[in-house]
Amino acid sequence: MNAKNTLLPITSTLQSRGRLLDLSAPVVMGILNATPDSFYNKGRDSDLASLLQTAEQMLESGATLLDLGGASTRPGAPISNADEELQRVLPVIQALTARFPGVWLSVDTYHAEVARQAVEAGVSLINDVSSGDIDPDMLPTVARLRVPYIAMHMQGTPETMQQQPEYGDVVADVRDYLRGKCDLCRAHGIADVIVDPGFGFGKTTEHNFALLNNLHTFRMLGRPVLAGLSRKSMICKPLRIGPENALNGTTALHVIALQQGANILRVHDVKEAVEVIKLMKHLS
């Protein structure tokens, strides 16, 4: 691995529901979309049987975590309805935890009530693209649930985030925001926090590449770093392709993210991401 990986110590384990997850080496989080309007699969394969099959394939391919979402956070998406989100994710959570006991399952939500019911149904951690900015009850709820929390940076909301995003210094601004969120999580009593700079969430292509090129600096927060690059516009726009043709570009950026010290790769294509991690180990 690149020497930047050893610059700063980070929390190397997560604890949830009496289990420990080792992050001393990079791991892969597979994306499961139980929504009809995701930016990539457009609702294809979002029924229960297809999601179970996809989850099985991801786990067999080496995914350590699965991230289930019941509402799209694509650019332009309105704030979701919590009740509708619960109707989509709860049956999937119950089926996944029954089929794959012990799976590390995350729910991708910015609603505290969805987080609460998801954990009660078997979820191990919460992935919040708004870091508690959309629902002020989120951080107190996660603290009570005693599960790890993924805090992501987003400028605005999914509906507004790509309307001319601006920063003074995107790397410093995003890092300072996440530092503040880590402090707030600590104040609420959340023990395990993962930070995510939010590639594509209120950023131009130039902002995204500046963040990727400086991802190692987020290690100063002392928290595991998640990189969500899979098939995003920062790949599609420069290459003038659609998400369906962005696997090769995704793989290329995963190499850079790992060189920059990413601990978790959140991906649509687990097999390829796991192969990148395996090959990168030979450089350490």
pLDDT in tens, 105-131: 999 999 999 999 999 999 999 999 999
Q: What residues are annotated to the active site?
A: 232, 266
Residue 107 in contact with residue 115, Cβ under 8 Å?
A: yes
pLDDT at 76 over 70: no
Residue 232 in contact with residue 268, Cβ under 8 Å?
A: no
* pLDDT score of 257: 98
* pLDDT score of 166: 86
pLDDT in tens, 153-163: 998 766 665 67
Q: What is the mean pLDDT of the chain?
A: 91
Rounded-to-integer distance, Cα 69 and Cα 49, Å: 16
Q: What percent of the chain shows pLDDT beyond 90?
A: 82
In the chain, which residue ranges form alpha helices assigned H by DSSP? Answer: 48-60, 82-99, 112-121, 138-145, 170-188, 205-213, 233-239, 247-259, 270-280
pLDDT in tens, 1-43: 444 444 456 778 999 989 999 999 999 999 999 987 655 565 5
The listed CATH number (3.30.930.10, 3.40.50.2300, 3.30.110.40, 3.20.20.20) that belongs to domain 24-283: 3.20.20.20
Q: Tell me the pTM.
A: 0.92
